[in-house]
Amino acid sequence: MIQHHPSPNGAATCPRQRATFDRRSLLVGCGAAAAALAAWPLVRRLIARREAVFLARNQRYDGDLQTTITDGLAAVGFDLTSLRGKTVLLKPNMVEPRRDAPQLSTHPAVVVAAAEVFGRHGARVVVGEAPGHLRDTQLALDESGIGEALDDAKLPFADLNYQDVKPLTNALRASPLKSIYFPRAVHEADLVVSLPKLKTHHWVGMTASMKNLYGLLPGIKYGWPKNVLHYAGVPETVVDINATVPRAIAIVDAIDCMEGDGPIMGSRKHLGMIAVGTNLAALDATCARVMGFEPARISYLQLAGALGPIADSQIEQPGEAWQVLRSPFQVLDVPHLNELRDAGVLIS
């Protein structure tokens, strides 16, 4: 049986802020100006900085993923020893998983490898997900293979769709949402780790570490699918969620990816890559370049200037350069996706 995250006796507490940069204080302090388009250049200048993204090629699900993840975190300056005694919430992607379509969901090997890395450094690890299309979370666990892997590794699972919720003030307000409701496991986590599957997306072009955090929000509040967020604007709510989660990093499963009609109906594309970053905007921008997309043309990355850099000149790459790994993903032949490509091919 999957072990579920136990309910606390007292009220949930919010995670601690990032020590090196109080992102929420800056954004809230900017107030309405940060939400206005005219203020975006000012916000970008206020927080302009360089970030590191680690890419590793020739990766396999049966390879030494723990070493790759450990090396990647070290390369981007993340101190694993700081997590001793802390709670880490791993958030994989399990959207309509099927055993015959491994390109749909984060591979169980990546989830378990990440859990082993954080657990080995003294963290309490919980895996959590709020599948956006399935009310039956157990079915998603079974079809993705993640449930069996968690059982074997004796890792607890938190069903984020059905936990008690508590709001946090929307730190950015790119969307009309004044607050965002997160489940108990998010409030209790000292660190959220986005573990997405790299895929194309029929609305916003791509889905990686930032879009994956949609799965932190509970279905009991936002529905199946999460149309409240869709009506508020997908790009806008993506950046709002990322601004409001106090501390998050990401490890991207880009070994077997999805191209074409993603994020559900596309086909498998083997890339053999693991990507690691502590800044999700910079990480997604780098993944976009690998996919053959121009990051500045992707709607949610256009709004991400308050969260981190997307310009290649502001992103350091201590691992492989993205140019070495670049492999354009096929996209649907529709105007809003065609214009995202810096170069690429179409599918009919």
pLDDT, one tens digit per residue, over 201-216 is 998 999 999 999 999 9
The model's confidence at residue 170, banded by pLDDT at 50, 70 and 90, is very high
- With tokens 């570490």, the residue in question is 209
pLDDT, one tens digit per residue, over 121-135 is 999 999 999 987 678
Q: Output 256 or 24, whichever has higher pLDDT.
A: 256
| pLDDT at residue 25 tops 50 | no
pLDDT of amino acid 10: 35
CA gap 97, 217 in Å, rounded = 18
**Nearest 10 degrees: Cα torsion 130, 136, 142, 144:** -40
CA gap 242, 301 in Å, rounded = 11
H, E, C per residue of the chain: CCEECCCCCCCCCCCCCCCCCCHHHHHHHHCHHHHCHHHHHHHHHHHCCCEEEEEECCCCCCCCHHHHHHHHHHHCCCCHHHHCCCEEEEEECECCCCCCCHHHECCHHHHHHHHHHHHHCCCEEEEEECCCCCCCHHHHHHHHCHHHHHHHHCCEEEECCCCCEEEEECCCCCCCCCEEEEEHHHHHCCEEEEECEEEEECCCEEECCCHHHHHHCCHHHHCCCCHHHHHHCHHHHHHHHHHHCCCEEEEEEEEEEEECCCCCCCEEEEEEEEEEECCHHHHHHHHHHHHCECHHHCHHHHCHHHCCCCCHHHEECCCCCHHHHCCCCCEECCHHHHCCECCCCEEC
What would the mean pLDDT of 15-23 be, rounded to a whole number? 37
| pLDDT at residue 106 tops 50 | yes
pLDDT of amino acid 48: 55
The model's confidence at residue 342, banded by pLDDT at 50, 70 and 90, is low
120 phi/psi in degrees, rounded to 5: -65, -25
% of the chain with per-residue pLDDT over 90: 74
**Range of weakest confidence among 106-110, 248-252, 322-326, 339-343:** 339-343
Residue among 85, 89, 82 nearest 19 (CA): 82
| Alpha-carbon distances, residue 4 vs 108, 168, 273 (angstroms) | 18, 23, 31
CA gap 202, 193 in Å, rounded = 25
Q: What is the mean pLDDT of the chain?
A: 87
- With tokens 């206005």, the residue in question is 36
pLDDT of amino acid 177: 97
pLDDT of amino acid 23: 45
Q: Contact 196/250 with Cβ under 8 angstroms? A: yes
Angle at 34 between CA 168 and CA 204, to 5 degrees: 80
pLDDT, one tens digit per residue, over 34-80 is 444 444 444 444 445 799 999 999 999 999 999 999 999 999 999 99
% of the chain with per-residue pLDDT over 70: 84
- With tokens 């993705």, the residue in question is 144
| 340 CB neighbour count, 10 Å cutoff | 22
| pLDDT at residue 140 tops 50 | yes
Q: Output 226 or 292, whichever has higher pLDDT.
A: 292
The model's confidence at residue 252, banded by pLDDT at 50, 70 and 90, is very high
What would the mean pLDDT of 299-317 be, rounded to a whole number? 96
pLDDT of amino acid 175: 97
pTM comes to 0.85
What is the token pair recorded at 114? Answer: 């990440």
What CATH number does the domain located at 3-347 have? 3.40.50.11440
pLDDT of amino acid 214: 95
pLDDT of amino acid 9: 35
pLDDT of amino acid 70: 98
